[in-house]
Amino acid sequence: MKCLLIKNANVYAPQPLGIVDILIINDKIAKIGQQLAAPQGLDCQILDAQKRKAVPGYVDQHVHIIGGGGESGPYSRTPEINLSELTKVGITTVVGVLGTDGTSRHNESLLAKARGLTHEGITAYMLTGSYEIPLHNMTGDVRRDIILINECLGIGEVALSDHRSSQPTREELEKVLTQARLGGMLSGKAGVVQFHMGVGKSGMDVLLAIVRETEIPARHFIPTHVNRAFHLFEQAKEFARLGGYVDITSGIREQDGFPACVKPSDAIKILYEEGVPMDRVTMSSDANGCMSVTLSDGSQKQLAVSPDSFQEEVKDALLAGVPTEVVAKVVSSNPAQANGLYPQKGCLQADSDADLIIYSDSYDVDTVIAKGQIMVAAGEALVKGTFEK
- Report whether the peptide linkage leading into residue 343 is cis, meaning its omega lies within 30 degrees of zero: yes
Q: Do residues 240 and 226 lie in contact, with contact meaning Cβ atoms separated by under 8 Å?
A: no
Give residue 201's region: left, alpha or beta (phi > 0; psi -120 to 50): alpha
Q: What single-letter DSSP state applies at residue 251?
A: T
Nearest C-alpha neighbor of 337 from the set 211, 252, 247, 276? 247
Q: What are phi and psi of 133, to 5 degrees?
A: -120, 130
DSSP codes, 36-92: --PPTTS-EEEEE-TT-EEEEPEEEEEE-TT--B-BTBGGGBPPPPPHHHHHTTTEE
The values of phi and psi at residue 288, to 5°, are 70, 10
What whole-number distance in Å separates Cα of residue 309 and Cα of residue 317?
A: 12
Q: Are 367 and 359 in contact (CB under 8 A)?
A: no
> How do strand 53-56 and strand 356-359 relate by DSSP bridges?
antiparallel
Active site residues: 286
Tally DSSP H helices, then E strands, for the chain. Answer: 10, 19
Nearest to 331 by CA among 227, 221, 247, 258: 247
- In angstroms, the CA 68 to CA 154 distance is 19
Question: Any idea what DSSP says for residue 136?
Answer: P
